[in-house]
Amino acid sequence: MQKPLELILMRQLAAHLAMPIFIADAEGMVLFYNRAAEPILGRPFAEVGERPLREWMREVNLYDEEGAFIPPEERPLPLALRDRRALHRRLQVQSFDGRRRRLEATVLPLQGQGGRILGGAVIFWELDGA
């Protein structure tokens, strides 16, 4: 089944941008992350593919600035989709390769025509490689 046009165009845009972007739909399916996001997440998207966000949450751990674990329901993307608003947070991400990275994440709910929330895009800003 075809994805909504807005998500198709968002993916095309992300594929062409050099900043790290991660896209999920409103049903909680990870749809895409671009090449710039691959070093942060520790694995190429082509290897990981589309998969439910809840599976991700078992393998990709998020911590706040002080290093405290962020439970799945309090992660920025689910919060942004639930509250239908943008969020910006400093985080630490421990991803597929086990490395922990400090970064800032901006989460934007993707609102389509008619007010439909179609998913969310996360833009990462890496602070260092620690």
Partner 1 sequence: MKVTLWGTRGSLASAGPETVRYGGNTSCVAVEGPEDALLVLDPGTGIRRLGAVVGKARSIDVLLTHLHMDHIQGLGFFEPLYRPDIDVHIWGPPSTTQDLRSRLTRYLSPPLFPVWLRELPRVILLDVPLGSFTIGALRVDAALVSHPGPTVGYRISDGRVTVAYIPDHEPALGCRKFPDAPAWTSGFDLAAGADLLIHDAQYADEDYPAYVGWGHSSLSQAIAFGALAGVKRLIPFHHNPSYSDERIDRLIAQAPAPISLELIPGTEGLTLSL
User: Nearer to partner 1 by C-beta: 78 or 109?
Assistant: 109
Residue appearing with tokens 């997440």? 41
Closest approach of partner 1 to the CB of residue 107, in Å: 21
Phi-psi bin for 49: left (phi > 0), alpha (psi -120 to 50), beta? left
- Are the beta carbons of 108 and 6 closer than 8 angstroms? no
Strand 21-25: give its sheet, edge to edge.
51-52, 29-33, 21-25, 117-126, 100-111, 87-94, 61-63
User: Nearer to partner 1 by C-beta: 29 or 103?
Assistant: 29
Strand partners, 69: 63
Closest approach of partner 1 to the CB of residue 45, in Å: 13
User: Nearer to partner 1 by C-beta: 98 or 115?
Assistant: 115
Closest approach of partner 1 to the CB of residue 8, in Å: 6
User: Nearer to partner 1 by C-beta: 1 or 68?
Assistant: 1
Chain residues binding partner 1 by CB under 8 A are: 1-6, 8-9, 11-13, 15-16, 112-114
Residue 32 and residue 18: Cα distance in Å, rounded? 14
Closest approach of partner 1 to the CB of residue 23, in Å: 12
